[in-house]
Amino acid sequence: MKYPKLKSGEMTNTYALESPLTEADVLQMAQQLAMYRLSKGRALTERRLVFSHLQTLLQFHDYEVFALLLLDIEHRVIGFRELFSGPLEGASVYPREVVKIVLEHNAAAVILVHNQPSGFQKVNQADRALTTPLKKALNMVGTQILDHVVVAHEGCKSMEERGQL
């Protein structure tokens, strides 16, 4: 089966596809659409839409993934990078590597993102403990953390909305 490719600058609401479609096919197409909507140059305007795209990208992994949504000075998307992955109980995240990616992309701001493969969408002590050194490291290079989002099957939780950033 050939999947539709989303051409840069083009977006339509219909596609001609071979049938039958499997659940995996639909998921892959949804992930392509989410990546397109988080593609370079698009401004982030609505938090709930960003959450929806992040959830589409990360909710079905059966392992934990830590990612960065990299933004320019006007909070337009530079890129989305999955940096670290690990077992269900957590991925190891290295501030040095995060700073390296931020500098490579010349990002003025980032949104930290990780999924909860267990489906439990709660900001916990480990999430707060991870955010603190990343915030310090990124502040040293002039990059602002706008949020740390926890993605699960039921939705997303924002540390910024909870006043925990």
What CATH number does residue 34 fall under? Answer: 3.40.140.10
> Which residues 6+ apart lie within 8 Å of 11 measured at CB?
36
15 within domain boundaries? no
Which pLDDT value is given to residue 25? 64
Number of domains, the chain = 1
> Which residues 6+ apart lie within 8 Å of 140 measured at CB?
99
Which pLDDT value is given to residue 141? 96
Full domain range(s) for residue 151: 23-158
Which pLDDT value is given to residue 74? 87
Which pLDDT value is given to residue 1? 36
9 within domain boundaries? no
Which pLDDT value is given to residue 35? 58
16 within domain boundaries? no
Cross-strand bridge partners of residue 109: 71, 144
What are the strands of the beta sheet with 109-115, ordered from one edge? Answer: 77-86, 64-71, 109-115, 144-152, 155-158
Q: Enter the pTM of the model.
A: 0.73
39 within domain boundaries? yes
- The mean pLDDT values, 10 residues at a time, for the chain of 165 residues are 44 57 64 58 69 78 87 87 75 88 95 82 78 94 94 84 82
Which pLDDT value is given to residue 8? 43
12 within domain boundaries? no
CB 141 within 8 A of CB 98: no
